[in-house]
Amino acid sequence: MKDYVEEFRRKLAAIDEDSKKILIINVGSMNHGKSSLFNSLLDKTVFAENDIRETVVSKEEPWLQDVYLVDTPGLNAEESDDIEAYNAYKRANMIVFVHTVKAGELKRNELNAINIIKGVLGEKYFWSHFCLALTFLDAESESGVNAIKQKILSDIESNCGGKDFPVFLISNSRYKKGSAENKRVLIEKSGILKLRTFISHNVGNWRQENHALRQQRIQRSKQELMIEIAAERDRLQKEITRKTSALESRQRDFLYKVQSAVDSYRYDRQQLRNAQSRLDSARSELNDLRNQHSRDRARY
């Protein structure tokens, strides 16, 4: 049987370990610039930026003191990727939803992902720990970017119920070019500094939240464990009931066979007695005939 106590201890250890970390987690479809964005924040290339399915497991990298950036698989790249990503979202102190303006408005799977993550983290917590990063600004004009941004904000509010969250306009290419050529204007226009400053200013609050979040996660783990134990108990009870029913059926069948054998034995015994009685009666009649015959001979 599964060792639920040991499993709960492992979960507590994982929760305790996570509570020591501030986790900034990116979300978005493949090739929308998630990894490039986090590499820009780190000022080094850590996360793969290829145009193919590269990130298949969530990868975290230390950034500031106890602050980690977590790069997740792209949405809907593979079913296993989605599972891996959603497991990471449960631990998030901040969700950075990344979308490229080259793709225009949000797709249905992206809106669905927002709703799913919101359900995982809880609506109130989610919207206070969510921001939108629109990437590849150079692919659109300023007016085009603003139109796409407004459409996305409208869709998120109508489909997901969120509004008034931070939005960052990002150009990783501008940041890299500005950093390589030491051009401050390009760096500032990249939007990376604004996102970096936003995260840095909120780290203190997130550290304070982590204690309360730890308690919530422990309580949630307890509830999940109790549900799992209850399900296992029901399964075992059904199995016990099934086996008890089968045993009772076999017992009834056995008792029926025993009773049938006893009844058959009693019937055969009674038949034997009846046959013995008839035999005794026949013998008595035979003796009487013999005696009568002897008397008749003696008389004549």
Query: Does the pTM exceed 0.85?
Result: no
pLDDT digit string, tens, across residues 141-198: 999 999 999 999 999 999 999 999 999 999 999 999 999 999 999 999 999 999 999 9
- Whether 74 and 52 have beta carbons less than 8 Å apart is answered as no
Query: 103-110: long-range contacts (C-beta < 8 A, 24 or more apart)?
Result: 103/29, 103/32, 104/148, 104/151, 105/148, 105/151, 105/152, 105/155, 106/152, 106/155, 106/156, 107/29, 109/29, 109/75, 109/76, 110/28, 110/29, 110/75
Give the whole-angstrom CA distance, residue 174 versus residue 168.
14
Give the whole-angstrom CA distance, residue 288 versus residue 294.
10
pLDDT digit string, tens, across residues 44-84: 988 887 654 444 456 889 998 889 999 987 776 555 545 66
pLDDT digit string, tens, across residues 270-282: 888 888 888 888 8
Give the closest residue to 197 by CA, choosing from 29, 41, 30. Answer: 41
Backbone angle region of 187, left / alpha / beta, with phi > 0 → left and psi within -120 to 50 → alpha:
alpha
Q: Which residues pair with 167 in a beta bridge?
A: 132
